[in-house]
Amino acid sequence: MPQITVDYSTSLTDAFDRQGFAVALHTMVVETAAAKIEACKSRFTAVDDVVVGAERAGHALVHVAVALLPGRSAEVKSALTSRTLELVRAHVKPVDGVTLHASAEVRDLEASYQKFED
């Protein structure tokens, strides 16, 4: 915990500093939600096909999902969401002719969540 997944358009591969984003996001989650830095885990998935409205060209997306153990207030979750979007803006360079659609969500992990480390 936290488990972080980031979907992003392949058209952003060279424009998105994913490593810098992950480090900044982990630091921010620790500061905002009292998580432990060593518990923060991010994975990135490149998405080839993006359709916005009726258009396939000229759009790119970044969607960040942050899943935390239960117990954070709605205010903390809202702050995490807003700050996550600020970090997306800071770590994705503009691409000519492409509109970036960025979104983020923070949710609680289900009670069935388990993990192990070897």
Q: What is the DSSP string of 24-87?
A: HHHHHHHHHH---GGG-EEEEEEES---BTTB-SSEEEEEEEEEE-S---HHHHHHHHHHHHHH
Retrieve residue 3's tokens. Answer: 């488990």
Give CATH for domain 3-108. 3.30.429.10
The three-class DSSP label of residue 14 is: coil
pLDDT tens track for 33-62 = 999 999 999 999 999 999 999 877 899 999
**Would the pTM of this model clear 0.85, i.e. be above it?**
yes
Segment 96-117 mean pLDDT:
94
Q: At 70, is the pLDDT very low, low, confident or very high (cuts 50, 70, 90)?
A: very high
Ordered by start, the domain boundaries in the chain are: 3-108
